[in-house]
């Protein structure tokens, strides 16, 4: 008996490493055709078929967003504010003070860390990041972003969707909606939440808003005992044999049903979705298995550190 059996009889992965597998997953053939098939949402479909006509063809292959609500302040890291050093200890402008969340503002405070210029670009970085400082010429910094609200909830929505109200698609939703995904066997938009808790506003920070649900973030829970992806395997154990007999009858009936309705692509898409689901059952546990990474990598990401380990793990998985 097994709960972790696959929906389909899938050949074991022949690739030696997780990296190889990921690489092949992102360069597989026929992927666009399948993702098109899975989209019966007209605008998205239309959009995809016009892919070649985009005036700005996408060059990025992956987007990783590390979002640290409650993280370090920008004025302590890479947003050098010499004016703060000058004003250190003087009272904060009372008019501005009115806008702070907690009421009366205190005094100006300069950063606790020293700033120095680095790289050819002369980017200012604080002593907090001695290693990162060596790579400033490869990084892009955006200093112009600001939130329309100082409140946690609205500010989270602002960061993730560009609006302070809930209900708008998140960044990942827009990216996958607009540019699609090349990955056949993994969800398009994956979220690795901090095991210690969700940001204010909860999981709708990665919601699809008014875009189709397929563009919402798929949550992968790592290392907290929960299922990696919700419902990846049956909630109660089902014997492997019973499972495969059931799935095979299901697909047989579904195919017959679709044959009688030959012009309905939604039906074909749903049949394909079960096949893809079976592939996910194989690929997802494979992808999150960090044992295949070398001990050097583990050390670099401080996987075993009690404090920063969970974050290192998230970073490694994201990569």
Partner 1 sequence: MYRNITHILPRPILCLTLLSVLLPTAFSQDSTTLPDLERTARTLLRDRCIECHGETTQEGGLRLDLHESLLAGGDSGKAIQLGQSSESLLISRVSASDDSRMPPNGSPLDSSQIETLKQFIDAQAPWTDAPLADPKRDHWAWQPLSSPSPPPLNHNLADESNPIDQFLNDQLAKVGIIPVAKANREVLIRRLYFDLLGLPPTPDEVEQFLSDSSHDAWERLVDRTLASPHYGERWARHWLDISHYADTHGFERDQRRDNAWRYRDWVIDALNKDLPYNQFIRDQIAGDVLPESTPESTIASSFLAVGPWDFVGQVETPSPVIKRLARADDLDDMIAQVMTSICGVTIHCARCHNHKLDPIQQQEYYSLAAIFSGVKRGDRIVSAEESSAIESQKSDLKNRKRSIDQELLQLTHGLSLADIVGGGDGSGNGVPGQGIDPNSGNLQAPNDKRGFLADIVVNRLNQTKNPWIDAVFIPDGGALRQLAISQSGIQALDIPATDSKAWDAIRNGPVNSQFSTTLQTIDYAPPGYSMLSLHANAGITFQLPHDKLLTANSTFSQPANSSTTSTEQSTSPSTEPASFTFTSHVGYFGQTPKNGADVFVLLDGQIVFKYLGLGRDDGLQTIHIDLPQKDAYLTLIATDEGNSIGHDQVCFINPSIASIQQSQSPAIIERIAILRDQSKKLQQELDKLPAPRRVYGVLTEPPTPIHRLHRGNTEDPREVVRPGVLSCVGPKLQELEQLDQQTPDAQRRLALAAWLCSPDNPLPARVIANRLWHYHFGKGIVSTPSDFGLGGSLPTHRELLDWLADQLIQSDWSIKRLHRVILLSQAYQRSSSGNENPAESVDAANQPVWRQNPRRLDAESLRDSILFVSDSMVLNMHGPGYRDFDYQEEYAPVYKHRVFTTPEVFRRSIYRFVVRTTPHPFLTSLDCPNPATLTPVRNTTTTAIQALATLNNALILQQCNHFAQRLLREHPDNIEMQAEQAIRIALSRRASDEEIQSASQLIREAGLPQLCRVLFNTNEFIYVD
Burial annotation 197-227 (CB, 10 A radius, 16+ → b, else e): ebbebeebbbbbbebeebbbbbbbbeeeeee
From candidates 125, 133, 171, 204, binder to partner 1 by CB under 8 A: 204
What is the total count of residues that contact partner 1 (CB under 8 A)? 78
Pairing of strands 218-219, 190-191: parallel
**What is the rounded CA–CA span in Å between residue 181 and residue 61?**
9
254 binds partner 1 (CB under 8 A): yes
Q: Which is nearer to partner 1, 10 or 292 (CB)?
A: 10
**Per-residue contact track with partner 1, 27 to 66, x per CB under 8 A?**
-----------xxxx-------------------------
Strand partners, 190: 218
Closest CA to 288 of 184, 186, 208, 165: 186
Q: CB 285: neighbour CB atoms within 10 A?
A: 14
Region near partner 1 per CB under 8 A, out of 24-32, 55-63, 116-124, 262-270? 262-270
**Per-residue contact track with partner 1, 3 to 32, x per CB under 8 A?**
----x-------------------------
Q: Which is nearer to partner 1, 107 or 245 (CB)?
A: 245
**Per-residue contact track with partner 1, 115 to 154, x per CB under 8 A?**
---------------------------------xxxxxxx
**What is the rounded CA–CA span in Å between residue 270 and residue 129?**
49
Stretch 267-286 residues interacting with partner 1 (CB under 8 A): 267, 269-271, 273-274, 276-277, 279-281
Region near partner 1 per CB under 8 A, out of 57-65, 124-132, 160-168, 175-183? 160-168
For residue 158, what are its two tokens? 């602002």
3-state SS class at 129 = coil
């Amino acid at each position: 008996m097994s709960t972790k059996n696959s929906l389909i009889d899938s050949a074991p992965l022949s690739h030696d490493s997780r990296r190889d597998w990921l690489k092949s997953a992102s360069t597989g053939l026929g992927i666009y055709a399948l993702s098109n098939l899975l989209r019966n949402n007209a605008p998205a479909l239309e959009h995809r078929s016009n892919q070649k006509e985009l005036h700005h063809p996408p060059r990025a292959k992956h987007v990783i967003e590390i979002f640290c609500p409650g993280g370090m302040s920008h004025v302590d890291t890479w947003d050098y504010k010499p004016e703060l050093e000058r004003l250190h200890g003087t009272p904060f402008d009372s008019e501005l003070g009115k806008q702070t969340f907690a009421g009366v503002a205190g005094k100006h405070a300069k950063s606790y860390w020293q700033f120095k210029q680095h790289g050819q670009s002369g980017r200012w970085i604080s002593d907090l990041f001695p290693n990162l400082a060596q790579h400033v010429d490869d990084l892009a910094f955006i200093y112009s972003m600001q939130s329309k609200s100082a409140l946690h909830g609205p500010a989270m929505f602002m960061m993730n969707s560009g609006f302070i109200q809930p209900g708008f698609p998140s960044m990942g939703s827009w990216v996958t909606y607009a540019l699609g995904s090349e990955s056949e066997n993994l969800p398009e938009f994956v979220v690795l939440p901090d095991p210690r808790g969700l940001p204010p506003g909860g999981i709708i920070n990665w919601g699809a808003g008014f875009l189709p649900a397929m563009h919402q973030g798929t949550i992968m829970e790592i290392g907290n005992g929960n299922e990696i992806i919700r419902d990846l395997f049956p909630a109660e154990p089902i014997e492997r044999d019973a499972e495969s007999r059931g799935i095979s009858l299901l697909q047989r009936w579904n195919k017959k049903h679709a044959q009688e309705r030959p012009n309905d692509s939604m039906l074909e898409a749903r049949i394909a979705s079960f096949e893809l689901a079976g592939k996910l059952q194989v690929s997802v546990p494979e992808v999150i298995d960090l044992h295949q990474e070398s001990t050097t990598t583990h050390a670099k990401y401080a996987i075993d550190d009690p404090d920063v380990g969970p974050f290192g793990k998230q970073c490694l998985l994201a990569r």
